[in-house]
Amino acid sequence: MPDVDGVTATRVIRQRFPEVQVIALTSFKEAELIQNALQAGAIGYLLKDVTADELAQAIRAAHAGRGTLSPDAAQALVHAATQPPTPGHDLTERERVVLALMVEGLNNTEIAEKLIVSPSTIKSHVSHILRKLDVTSRTEAAALAVRHHLVG
């Protein structure tokens, strides 16, 4: 879609027209995308290789208030639910910003100046980051962040 993604469109539709049921029809079967669509209010998630009969069945189910997941989407959710959480899943937005600056090689004083906070605040953030990532050094944290794409 040119101006907005499907998750945002689903959220807006469900907020403005709560009686409308949304079925996501997509070629993406990554668990995170499926979860995002369902959390936005989609009642179904189907892949574009669905047959016309399966699509009609999903539409009838949605009309009746019942959800439908493609087998691949269901499998992706099951797989995601059985995996350990991704390192850094519990970092706050501010901790992610500090971690990104750590990856750039900035020290606490430089990060504090850039974010206009005290060095002791940054020291606290760094301590939380190290604990949450279960690492013992800034270097380990930066390497893990790059390896797991925790920073942009």
CB distance 18 to 10 below 8 Å: no
- The average pLDDT across 24-36 equals 92
Strands (E), 27-114: 44-47, 68-69
Residue 47 pLDDT class (50, 70, 90 cuts): very high
33 falls within a domain: yes
Q: Which pLDDT score is estimated for 7? A: 94
Separation of alpha carbons 126 and 110, rounded Å: 13
87 falls within a domain: no
Q: What would the pLDDT profile of 88-108 be if each residue is shown by its tens digit?
A: 989 999 999 999 999 999 999
CATH code of the domain in which 15 resides: 3.40.50.2300
Tell me which residue range forms the domain holding 61.
6-81
87 DSSP 8-state letter: T
Q: Which pLDDT score is estimated for 1? A: 57
Separation of alpha carbons 86 and 112, rounded Å: 27
Q: Which pLDDT score is estimated for 45? A: 96
> How many domains is the chain built from?
2
- The average pLDDT across 30-57 equals 95
Same domain, 108 and 128: yes
Separation of alpha carbons 96 and 64, rounded Å: 42
- The average pLDDT across 114-124 equals 96
Is the per-residue pLDDT at 152 higher than 80?
Answer: no
Is the per-residue pLDDT at 11 higher than 70?
Answer: yes
Q: Which pLDDT score is estimated for 60? A: 97
Q: Which pLDDT score is estimated for 83? A: 86
One-letter amino acid of 125: H
Query: Domain end: 81, 107, 126, which one?
Result: 81
10 falls within a domain: yes
**74: β partners:** none
Is the per-residue pLDDT at 87 higher than 60?
Answer: yes
Query: Domain end: 48, 81, 114, which one?
Result: 81
Strands (E), the chain: 23-26, 44-47, 68-69
